[in-house]
Amino acid sequence: MGQYNPAPYQLDLTQYPHLVTETIPGPKSAALHRRATRYYRGLSGQVRLFPVAFERGSGCSLEDADGNRYIDFSSGIYVTTLGHCHPKISEAVANYARQLMNAHDFTTEIKVRLLEKMAECLPGDLKNFQLYDSGTTAVEAGLRTCRAATGKHEFISCFMDFHGKSGHSIGLARMTRFSGSGRPEGFYLAPRPDTYRPWWTRPDGSLDTEQYLEFYDKFIRESTTGQVAAFVVEPIQGWGGSIMPPDDFFPKLRKFLDERGILLFADEVLTGMGRTGKYLCMEHWQVLPDIVTLGKGFGNGFPVTAMVVRTPYADAVDKISASTSYGGNPMACAAALACFEVIEEEGLLEHAQELEKLFRRRMSGWTSRYRIVGDTRVKGCLLGVELVKDKQTKEPYEEAGRLVYQKAFRRGLAWIPAGHILRMSPPIVMPEEVALKGMDLIEAAIAETEKELLG
C-alpha cells in the first residue's frame, strides 16, 4: 500500500470556494437550465433545489458555467470517490477509447487484469464476477442469481433502502412512485435497525437487535410462502439518509439467514470501493455476503458496475444469461482497474479512515450546540446529519433540510439533500484542510437556518 499525499488534491482555500456572480446559480447556469428543461424531464431533488450547470471538475472541486468554484462534498452523488478527472483514470479510459471501445463479452487483456485485481482485493471467496453498466442492472442480475442458486423466488428488503429504478429492483424499494405500480408478488419489506429511530428497544432505551430478528423470523413463517431466496440490504442506507446499523446487526443477521438457508445479498453500489474506508463496507463487521453489487465509485464516473458472487454459488451465474452489451467493455475495465490501483498506490483506504476521525471530531458537538440537529453519523467518507423540529419527538424538519442545503450550496459547497437529512460524500482523496473548510460551510448554514426558523 502506498502513502497518502495531499499535494495533488490541495486547494487554495483563499480561492475555494469562490463565487463570482451576485446570484447563485448565476445567469449562465440559469439560462442553460431553462434550455434543458424545455426537453428534459425527471430532474432529481438536488437539481430542483439548486439548478446549477457544472462545467468542469478537478479533484475535490467543481466549477459551474458562470465560473463559480465549489468544494465538492457529493462526489457526483457518491460516484467520483477518487475525485473528479483523476489523471490516471482519465488516461486509462482515453487509451482504450483510441484502441478498442467494445467487444461485447469477449475476453480482453484489460478485462483479465481487472478480474485478477478484483479477486486479489475482495475478501473471502467473493471471486466470481459479471460486469454491467448500471447499478440497477447489476442488482437485477443478482436477484436472478439468487433464484438460480436457491430454487426459491421470494425476497426480503428493507424500508427506505434503495436498489434501482427498473423492474424487480424497484420491487425491493419502499416507494412505488418509481414504477407507478405496486410491488411484485413475493417481494417483502421489513424494518432495519436505526439507532436514532429504533422500532424495538431494551429497557435502557438502546436498540435491541434480537427483537428485529424475532420479527424477521415471525414474518418469514407467517407472511411468506417459505421460499425466500435472499435478504437484500444496503450496508448503510444512501437515499434513506446515511442510516447506519448497530455493530451487532450484520453478524447476527448472517447467522440468522444461514440457519434458514437464505442468502445475504449486500448492495454495495453506494458503499463499496473505499467509500467507508474498506473495499466493502461489510468488512467493517467481518461479514461475508453471498452476493455483492458494486457501482458508482467502481469506475469513478465511468459507467461500470459489477455483480460479485461467492464460489459456492458461482454456477448459478451461468444459468441466467448474465452478459450485457456494454458491461465489461475495455474502457470500463480500464477505468475500474485504475480505480483499484489508485486506491492501493495512494493509501486511500487508510486516508478515508483518518478522514472519518476528523469528521467525527468536527461534528461531535452539533447535537448539543444546535436545536435542529438531532443526530450525526459517519462511516469513512459517508456522512449524515438529521434535522428535527423537536429532539424529544424527533419530528423531521423538512424545511430546515431544504434551507441548510441551499444556504451551504450558496456558500460554495456542492452536496446532497434527502429531505430532513443532509448527506455528504466527499472524495476520499480530500485533504484534511479542505474537509474542515467544508465542515465550516455546513455548520454556518445550520446556524443561519436555525436562527431564521427559530429565532
Write the pLDDT tens digit of every residue in 230-284: 999 999 999 888 999 999 999 999 999 999 999 999 999 999 999 999 999 999 9
> Architecture of 7-78+347-454 per CATH?
Alpha-Beta Complex (3.90)
Q: Is 105 exposed, middle or buried (0-12, 13-18, 19+ CB in 10 A)?
A: middle
Least confident range from 76-80, 322-326, 328-332, 355-359: namely: 322-326
Q: Are 360 and 385 in contact (CB under 8 A)?
A: no
Read off the pLDDT of each residue in 184-189 and give the average, rounded to a whole number: 88
Query: pLDDT value at position 185?
Result: 84
For the cut 80, the answer to whether the pLDDT of residue 180 exceeds it is no
Q: How confident is the model at residue 181 (pLDDT cuts 50, 70, 90)?
A: low
Residues near 252 by beta carbon (within 8 Å), at least 6 away in sequence: 209, 210, 213
Q: Are 446 and 366 in contact (CB under 8 A)?
A: yes
Compute the distance between CA of residue 128 and CA of residue 133 in angstroms, rounded to an integer.
17
Dihedral (CA of 357, 81, 333, 172) sign? positive
Residue extent(s) of CATH 3.40.640.10 domains in the chain:
87-345
Class (C level, CATH) for 87-345? alpha beta
Compute the distance between CA of residue 437 and CA of residue 16 in angstroms, rounded to an integer.
9
Residues near 170 by beta carbon (within 8 Å), at least 6 away in sequence: 164, 176, 178, 179
Give tens-digit pLDDT for 94-109: 999 999 999 988 999 9
For the cut 60, the answer to whether the pLDDT of residue 137 exceeds it is yes
Residue extent(s) of CATH 3.90.1150.10 domains in the chain:
7-78+347-454
Give tens-digit pLDDT for 215-230: 999 999 999 999 999 9
Mean pLDDT of the chain: 95
Q: What is the pTM of this model?
A: 0.95
For the cut 50, the answer to whether the pLDDT of residue 453 exceeds it is yes
Least confident range from 320-324, 344-348, 441-445: namely: 320-324
Q: How confident is the model at residue 182 (pLDDT cuts 50, 70, 90)?
A: low
Question: Apex CA 177: angle with CA 172 and CA 181, to 5°?
Answer: 75
For the cut 70, the answer to whether the pLDDT of residue 59 exceeds it is yes
Compute the distance between CA of residue 85 and CA of residue 54 in angstroms, rounded to an integer.
14
Query: pLDDT value at position 455?
Result: 84
For the cut 80, the answer to whether the pLDDT of residue 31 exceeds it is yes
Cell of 11: 486547494
Helices 249-260, 209-223: crossing angle, 10 deg rounding: 30
What order of strands is seen across the sheet that includes strand 421-424?
373-379, 382-387, 421-424, 416-418
Compute the distance between CA of residue 6 and CA of residue 3 in angstroms, rounded to an integer.
10
For the cut 60, the answer to whether the pLDDT of residue 176 exceeds it is no
For the cut 80, the answer to whether the pLDDT of residue 12 exceeds it is yes
